[in-house]
Amino acid sequence: MYQFLAEVDGEISNQKYTDVISFLQDDVDKQDGYVMPRNFLSNSCPMLS
């Protein structure tokens, strides 16, 4: 979903997209493949835009 929105927006760099996805991967692995809203609230989560 984030990849789609990043592409539609057109202003989010590939590096920023990669940073966010890499950050979320640990949580996703622990949560049976799910991304939860709280995962984006962490202080260490890269900015989404």
pLDDT (0 to 100) of residue 7:
78
CA distances for 11 relative to 5, 16, 34, angstroms: 10, 10, 26
Nearest 5°: CA angle at 17, between 10 and 37? 105
pLDDT (0 to 100) of residue 24:
93
pLDDT (0 to 100) of residue 41:
92
* pLDDT tens per residue across span 1-49: 767 777 788 888 889 889 999 999 999 999 999 999 999 898 999 987 7
How is the chain split into domains, by residue range? Answer: 2-40
pLDDT (0 to 100) of residue 48:
79
